[in-house]
Amino acid sequence: MHHFRYSGHDLHCESVDLAAVARLYGTPTYVYSATTITENYQRLQRSLSGLDLQVCYAMKANGNLALLRLFSNLGAGFDLVSGGEIRRVVAAGGNLRKSVFAGVGKSEAEIKLALENQVFAFHVESEPELARINHVAGTLGVKAPIAIRVNPDVDAQTHAKITTGKSDNKFGIPLRQAGAAYEAAAKLKNIEVKGVQIHIGSQLTSVAPFVEAVKKLVPFVADLKANHGISYFSIGGGMGIVYRDALASGEQAWWSNQPAGQGMITPESYGEALTPLLAPLGLKILLEHGRFMVGNAGVLLTRVEHLKRGASKNFLIVDAAMNDLVRPAMYDSYHEIVPLHRDSSRRALVADIVGPVCESTDCFAKDRQLQEVGEGELLAFMSAGAYGYAMANRYNARLMPAEVVVRGSSFELVNARETFEQTIANEKIPAFLK
């Protein structure tokens, strides 16, 4: 659910007219709803309310400092995958003592940084990484809290590029080898075994893979509790969001377009299915969702440059490009695209919606129908709060977009549009070329 609605003919985020944001800060600009994020976080907490729960926001989805502060104020920890993310949480005033550090290639410097900031635990991906963490902890004279990420070999039934729980993925230690890994960890003098972790992928549209993975792990987790005294079980994240018919409403409208038999995943169905499996363990349960909390809480505003009428199709050229929102180019992802001013009297237009970057893959939608719009008019890419700005880049020497946060009738620029001078600040021309 989210707080993007038409008020009269104009699209609003909460009580703010999005056209006013575009007029003030230009385009492309990301806009986030603080109320949507808050409600998503609280809804997730309520869905597993019978458990000792710790929510760690997976900040890879969106690491904006304002949003990190919002999550921190809500009581969240963070799921971190780099030293840069650790530093961003610290800069935002977040709590590392409630946060976990994941990722398959942690450097010694990153491990040291996490230990110095008293991270709740490392989620260990391999035996060599375990040895590295033990070594770095030894140089600091501390014990490193760890959980091993176990790969349960479960098909998440999601896009091939974002599945992480199959045996041929790079993530985690296979379940059949995990027992030996824990035995080895227990013998390392600078390691404290605290828990176990799984994460099987992103944008899951059914609760069934979550249930399958947890059922596979429950006997193993219970054994670890009995023999190693672990205190928590992290079941990762990955709950999917609404992309189709997102403005309408989302969940029922979207699920009406899904293949039969998948089942509808909501925080409530997720909690209802998993709580009975997790409660008997008597452990703290960690969740590491990202997309679910911020995905539908953000839109990308863009302005129409031209309507180009070709021989066989129309092209609606906008000022946003694949460098601003790479998901359609990278994953063939769908984003609903809507006008900021809705006018039912206008004729329908069918066009490819494309950006100005010099790549054929700079295409947001093919043969998409929307109302006829002209040069200078504004559109919104819905469900762009996750992996939008986080994956944006400077391709074609384009500037990074601006970011705005809305709460109620107030909105504020929280990340100014990049300037050209900023993009070249660290570059130099060598003396031998002068």
Phi, psi values for residue 367, rounded to 5° = 50, 45
Residues 6+ apart with CB under 8 A from 133: 106, 111, 122, 124, 144, 146, 190, 191
Half-sphere exposure of 150 (CA within 13 A, CB side): 24
Total length of the chain: 434
Q: Is 234 in contact with 100 (CB distance < 8 Å)?
A: yes
Annotated binding-site members for pyridoxal 5'-phosphate: 238, 288-291, 387
What amino acid positions are annotated as catalytic residues? 358
Separation between Cα atoms, residue 91 and residue 65, nearest integer Å: 8
Residue 123 parent element (H or E): strand 121-124
Identify the burial level of 432 via C-beta atoms within 10 angstroms of its C-beta, where 0-12 means exposed, 13-18 middle and 19 or more buried: exposed
Annotated binding-site members for substrate: 291, 327, 331, 359, 387
Annotated binding-site members: 238, 288-291, 327, 331, 359, 387
Q: What is the DSSP letter of 187?
A: T
Q: Is 244 in contact with 257 (CB distance < 8 Å)?
A: yes
Angle, alpha carbons 152-182-158 (nearest 5°): 20
Residue 5 parent element (H or E): strand 4-7
Identify the burial level of 348 via C-beta atoms within 10 angstroms of its C-beta, where 0-12 means exposed, 13-18 middle and 19 or more buried: exposed
Phi, psi values for residue 339, rounded to 5° = -75, 145
Separation between Cα atoms, residue 403 and residue 364, nearest integer Å: 20
Separation between Cα atoms, residue 10 and residue 163, nearest integer Å: 38
